[in-house]
Amino acid sequence: MTFFRILNAVFAASALSLSAHAAGGAKHAHAPEDGWSFASPVGKLEIDSVQRGFQVYREVCASCHGMKLLSYRNLGEPGGPFYDAMYPNANDNPLVKQFAAEDEILDPVPNDVGDYDYRPARPSDRFRSPYANDQAARAANNGALPPDLSVITKARGHGNDGDGASYVYSLLTGYLDPEDIETRTGEDGLPVNVITFDDDYFHGELVQPLGQYYNPYMPGDVSAQWSGDPRHVPYGGFLAMPSQLTDGRVDYMDGTEATIDQMAYDVAQFLQWAGEPKQSQRKSLGLPTMLYLIFLAGLLWFSYQRIWRNVGH
C-alpha cells in the first residue's frame, strides 16, 4: 500500500500546482484540509463519505436541485456508494429499492386521456425532480434556477483533480456566520442586510440585495453594493441560494458527527462520484495497464538488443 500512497502523493502534488490560478473575482476554491483521496490518477473515492453525501443530498439539496442524469440503480452499481456484490443486478439491491420507493414520481397512467399520477419510484427511474419544470423552479426561488447537480463538479471544475468538488465544498462552507450579517431598516422602511468588513485590506460595508446572499467563492462582482475603497472590493459575489448547512442538519446513519464541514465534504464527494460514476473502475484499470505497458516496453528493448546484436551499424 505504501507504494500507492507515494504515487498518490506525487500525483496530488502535481495536480495542485496545475490548479493554482485565480478564477474571476472569486476567492480561489480550496480543497478540504487533508485534500481529496480521489484527486490523483490512482486515488479513489471514499465510499462511506459518498454514502453520507447521498444522505445530505437527499435530505438537504434535493428539495431544490434535481440530478436528472442519475437513476436510483446507479447507486448500487459497481463503483456506486451502495454496491453490494450479493446483488450484481442493482435493481435487486434492497437499499436501492428502498431509496427509490421512498420517492414519489409523476408518471403517465395507462389510460387513453393522457393522465399523470404519482407512484413510488423504481430502481430504473431517474432521480425525482423537485419541480415540474424550470419555470416552477424559478418561481419557487425568487427567479433563480437551482442548477441540476448531476455534473456540477465537472461544470465548475477543470478536470479530475477535484477542483469542482473543492468549489462545491468551499461554496457551502464559505457563507458568513449569520451573526456577521446585520439587518437594518432602510430609508424606505424595508429591511436591508449589511455586512461590515474591517480588516486592513477590505474596509467598508457591503449591502446584500434582497433575496441574494454573499459568498466569497461565488464568481461575481459586488462593487455596486460596496461602500468601501473601490480598489479593494471584497472577493466573490451574490447568489440566490442561502446558506444550507448548519451543524447537525442531518442525522448521519453511520453515526458520524454532522458538522458543516463534514456535510460539505461528504456532499461534494457524492457529487464528484455522480459526475463520473465509473471513475473508480476506470482508475483501477489504469494502474495495471501502465505496469503492463512498462513491462512490455522493457521486453521490447531487450528483444531489440538481442535481435540486432550481431549487426554492424
Q: What is the contact surface with ligand HEC in residues (CB under 6 A)?
A: 56, 60-61, 63-65, 141, 144, 146-147, 152, 156, 168, 171-172, 239-241, 244, 267
Which grid coordinates belong to 186?
432602510
CA 172 vs CA 175, 216, 261, 283: distances in Å = 7, 11, 9, 28
| Beta carbon nearer to ligand HEC, 64 or 121 | 64
| Beta carbon of residue 178, minimum distance to ligand HEC (angstroms, whole number) | 16
SS3 49: helix
Cα 107 to Cα 61: distance, rounded to the nearest angstrom? 23
> If you count them, how many residues does the chain have?
313
| Beta carbon nearer to ligand HEC, 39 or 172 | 172
| Beta carbon nearer to ligand HEC, 147 or 204 | 147
| Beta carbon nearer to ligand HEC, 123 or 220 | 220
Cα 235 to Cα 23: distance, rounded to the nearest angstrom? 10
| Beta carbon of residue 226, minimum distance to ligand HEC (angstroms, whole number) | 18
Radius of gyration of the chain (CA): 25
| Beta carbon of residue 17, minimum distance to ligand HEC (angstroms, whole number) | 24
| Beta carbon nearer to ligand HEC, 42 or 218 | 218
Confirm if 131 and 140 have CB atoms less than 8 A apart: yes
CA 150 vs CA 60, 108, 169: distances in Å = 15, 24, 16
| Beta carbon nearer to ligand HEC, 56 or 151 | 56
| Beta carbon nearer to ligand HEC, 39 or 62 | 62
| Beta carbon of residue 146, minimum distance to ligand HEC (angstroms, whole number) | 4
Burial of 29 (0-12, 13-18, 19+ CB in 10 A): buried
| Beta carbon nearer to ligand HEC, 70 or 267 | 267
Residue 265 CA, distance from chain mean position: 9
Which grid coordinates belong to 225?
453594493
| Beta carbon of residue 195, minimum distance to ligand HEC (angstroms, whole number) | 17
SS3 139: helix
- Helix H or strand E segment including 48: helix 47-56
| Beta carbon of residue 259, minimum distance to ligand HEC (angstroms, whole number) | 14
| Beta carbon of residue 5, minimum distance to ligand HEC (angstroms, whole number) | 30
Closest alpha carbon to 174 in 237, 230, 129, 228:
237
| Beta carbon of residue 182, minimum distance to ligand HEC (angstroms, whole number) | 22
